Amino acid sequence: MIPIVYLQLERWTGITILSVMTAVSLLIDVLMHYHAPTRRVMHALVGRMLRQHEVMTEAFRLTGASWVLIAATLTFLAFPPVLSTTAFTVLIVSDTVAALIGRRYGRRAFLDKTLVGTTCFFLAAVGVTVVYQHVFDCGFYFLVSGVVASALCAIVEASSIRLRVDDNISIPFSFALAMLGMNWIGHVYHIPSFLHL
C-alpha cells in the first residue's frame, strides 16, 4: 500500500507521514528490547510474524517492519516519484517472490541465495517495471532501463550477506541508482528523460 498511497499525496506530505511511521516503529523496537511489558504485549500481538533474531533480547535488532519503513522513507526522499515508487515496489514484490519460491524450490546456489530465487526476483522486478511503465505512461526506454536495473538489483539481492547491507536498503537503492544511470545514458543519446513523470 505504501507506493499506492504515496502516489496519491503531495511528495513532502507522503515523506512526512512515512517519517512519523518510521519514528513510531523505531520507538516500538526500542521499547520491545528495553521494556519487558512492551515486549510481552508485542510478542502476544505480532510474535508469530517476528523472526528469531527479532525476538532475541541479547542484542538490539531492528524488526523487518522498521527496516521496510526506513527503506521507504530514504527511497522516497532520495529519488523522484517515478524511481522511488518503482524501486520500492520491486523491494516488496520481488523480494517476497524470491524468498517464497527460492526457499521452496531453490537447489542450486547463486552467490548468497539460490539461482531459482534470483531468477524469480529478476522476473518479478521486470513485471513491476512493466506495470509502472503503464502507470506513468513511460516510453520503451523506461522498460529497457528497468530490465537492466532488475538484473543488477537481482545480483545485489543475491549478494546481501557478503555485502553486509540490509536488503531493504540495498534493493531499492541499487534499482533506483541503476535507473538513474540508464537515464543519464539515454540523455547522451537524446532519449527523453523519464525522471519528471
Instruction: For residue 53, count other CB atoms closer than 10 A to its CB.
Output: 12
pTM of this structure: 0.85
Residue 61's alpha-carbon distances to 4, 9, 34, 64, 100, in angstroms, are 29, 32, 11, 9, 23
- Residue 191, judged by CB atoms within 10 A of its CB (0-12, 13-18, 19+), counts as middle
Q: What is the pLDDT of residue 57?
A: 56
pLDDT at 112: 81
> What pLDDT sits at residue 113?
85
| Residues 129-154: tens digit of each pLDDT | 999 999 999 889 999 999 999 999 99
CB atoms within 10 A of CB 156: 21
Q: What is the pLDDT of residue 59?
A: 62
Q: Hey, how many other C-beta atoms are within 10 angstroms of the C-beta on 139? A: 16
Select from 128, 93, 100, 129 the least CA-distant residue to 114. 100
pLDDT-flagged residues of the chain (< 50)? 53-54
